[in-house]
Amino acid sequence: MKNKLRKLVEENIATDSGSTRKLTIKGETKPYKVYRFPLNACYYNDANGRIATYISEYIANGNTLDKENLEQYNGVLEEFVYASNKKALDNTKNNISRIGQRVAGVVLDDGRILDGNRRFTALRKINREEGKDVYFEAVLLDGSHGLTQRDIKQLELNLQHAEERPLEYDPIDNLVDVYRDLIENTLFTEVEYAENTNKSKSDVTLLMKKASLMVQFLQFINAEGKFYIARDLALDGPLQEMVRILEGHIKGIDVRTVGESHPNKRELADYIQLRNTLFASLLSKRKLAGDEKSSDLTREVREIGQFIVKTANRQEFLEEMEEVVEDIYETFKEQEKVDAKTIATVGKELSEVREKAQNVIENFVEDGRIGVAKAKPIQSLNKVYKELDGIRIDQVKRMDAPTEAEFLKVYEEVQQKFEEIRKAINV
């Protein structure tokens, strides 16, 4: 496979397109020559973050990706690329069919596509469906560029995230990419990743935390590494709310690093109890096929944080949910294989447990709402007092006549309002 595409160039099978594309490699930006390559000489990048969850599902179902059979391999990944954004790919295919490939891709010398998987897919479909003789136009990066794994990934990030108007990743596919690059393989620091993806450091930190919590959730349901489940459950929003709840409630906890080595064992126990309760709550509130009510998991997790975790009822809630958490956790641990079908099956099997959890959550949220409503007048009065306390008496004494008249008018209105409040209290 090594030097495969360079040989095609030397043998004039891959031809010069007459155009160039600017790339930034190892900190240097310059134009690189674009060649036309036969479609069967190139292959999809199985480390492409846009299809990470699809690949995890494929492998979890007992399949393997065999690059020795390149056409079969490309056929499988073509389906994943298409499924990741059908509308965008159909638009790309129509545009290329009408006016040709306008933006060059980037390939390594063995044929692996670093950039242009969507264009490559469109060209394959055009060739197959319309019978057109088409080529994939791309910059060729070979061994002479001295690229390391980190250099290659940095280029991918620049091309996929930092270019103008990039096609957005599925949120969970993005979290998988972040987990692999920053946590599992530590290819980049947060700052480096932010610079390469045109994001702020705080955005990257949050992505890392959501990615870590996603991995913890999959471990909780005995589905480690099956990222497609997180995609199917649309966990991006709920994960973000959970990060805020957990780190807001337990100060000093970072969901990326918390583990058995955490120095404060009480904090660790509190974290695990609250985290697992949130996981169980999410699985209990999740809509199953056939449920009449739709569910907004992000909003429902947010309400648990706002109306339960932040209130004095928190510990009572956690205690009432203990059996639910244990039932859900143990049931998943007993499963030989956990996949999307298993989650639906377990959900139905635990229908009574889920119903109990839903009732507990709804009752505590409602109590929390009432408590917040009761406390609202006190909060408002405290704000008024702070404003009144900020009025300087010496300034009041120095007011001129028109200002004093306007002040007295407002003062009398405030007095009247306080009298209404006093009467309401005495009712």
Q: What are 362's two structure tokens?
A: 């709804």
- Dump pLDDT digits (tens) for 128-185: 999 989 999 999 998 667 788 888 888 888 887 655 444 567 899 999 999 999 999 9
Summarize pLDDT for 99-132 with one digit per residue, the tens. Answer: 999 999 999 999 999 999 999 999 999 999 999 8
> Average of pLDDT values for 216-225?
96
Give tens-digit pLDDT for 246-299. Answer: 999 988 889 998 887 788 888 999 999 999 999 999 999 886 544 444 468 999
Give the predicted TM-score (pTM) of the model.
0.77
Please give the C-alpha separations between residue 104 and each of 20, 23, 273, 323, in angstroms, as whole numbers. Answer: 8, 11, 51, 57
Report the DSSP beta bridge partners of residue 112: 43
Give the CA angle between residues 235, 238, 239 to the nearest 5°.
75
Q: Is 66 helix (H, G, I), strand (E, B) or coil?
A: coil
Structure token digits, residue 230:
């997180």
Is-contact 400 335, C-beta < 8 A?
A: no
Neighbours of 63 (CB within 10 A): 11
In angstroms, the CA 364 to CA 303 distance is 10
User: What would the pLDDT profile of 341-386 be if each residue is shown by its tens digit?
Assistant: 899 999 999 999 999 999 999 999 998 888 766 667 777 777 877 8
Please provide the size of the chain in residues. Answer: 427
H helix intervals, 112-161: 117-130, 149-157
Strands in 113-115's sheet, in edge-to-edge order, are 15-25, 28-38, 135-141, 105-108, 113-115
Kindly write down the DSSP assignment for every residue of 253-307, as one continuous string. --TTT-STT-S-HHHHHHHHHHHHHHHHHHHHHS--TT-SS---HHHHHHHHIII
Q: Are 44 and 77 in contact (CB under 8 A)?
A: yes
Residue 164 φ/ψ, nearest 5 degrees: -65, 140
